[in-house]
Structure 1
């Protein structure tokens, strides 16, 4: 079966194993990847290149501990926005460094943001002075994060 226009070919089991290994350690060398999967280095390299070319792998990033990085408090901020304002709000939100992730969602709210701040005072200022007052934001709801699952493929709750 041919891949749909703009989409990659279906992933086989080896592709999925490669993605999982790289999700766990994005700095993994081709040699180590090949050894873990019992394939040649050339095979690992060509598959990783294809996964990049097809847009399955889009980049690599460091996983940061927010508290050690200076962000002692985190929250999800749910925003309702004016109709047809997604692109403008998206652009403004992307300029706020305390926003670590955002998503346009269905349901009672339109946008969900993961925000991090050094302390409660800074979080309050972020929500009340910068997010709620943003043009096209009609209402908000903030939920404090008490604990988080670790990033990576092995999700083990801390509680």
Structure 2
């Protein structure tokens, strides 16, 4: 795998901020020919630096106004419980992210729901029935201060 150079980094920064750039627009921004730019984007994708493209949607417009983080502690930390928990979480459309963490609990779940009533339903129908769940702590977000999702390149 080739090391990233200055132009690769410029391409990654531009696409990360605005993934819908045409190849010509991208080429102009990074001061390369369209052909050279397209080849670099292909290589960056093939090498796994670019893993996909998506639109960022408005949670408010889609009725998903409540953002919650849920700490989950399992009753057993065995491979079969971890696997079953992960499989179940992946099936929930409300879960945006789920991370196994080190520390005082096992998983941190990020979810978006319509409101507190929807959250109660999510907790009782999705989180609590998950395999091995012993305890949860929920943190409802009052204000999103930063949600960039951009990696430093």
1:131 is matched with 127
Unaligned runs of 5+ in 1: 1-7, 154-159
2:112 paired residue among 105, 111, 116: 116
Deviations 1:93-125 (A, max 9, x none): 011111011112211122111101111101011
- In 2, the alpha carbon distance for the partners of 1:30 and 1:75 equals 38
State the structure with bigger RCO (CA 8 A, min sep 6), 1 or 2: 2
Decide which of 116, 137, 141 is 2:137's aligned counterpart: 141
Deviation at 1:152, TM superposition (A): 5.5
- State the SS of the aligned residue for 1:27: coil
CA distance in 1, matches of 2:82, 2:131: 11
Alignment: residue pair count: 146
Q: TM-score, normalised by structure 2?
A: 0.88
CA distance in 1, matches of 2:89, 2:109: 9
Misfit runs of 4+, over 2 Å: 150-153
Separation of aligned partners in 1, 2:4 and 2:28: 20
Give the CA deviation at 1:10: 2.7
TM-score where L is the length of structure 1: 0.85
What CA RMSD, in Å, does the superposition of the two structures yield over aligned residues? 1.4
- Say if 2:34 is the partner of 1:41: yes
Task: State the 1:129 CA deviation.
Answer: 3.1
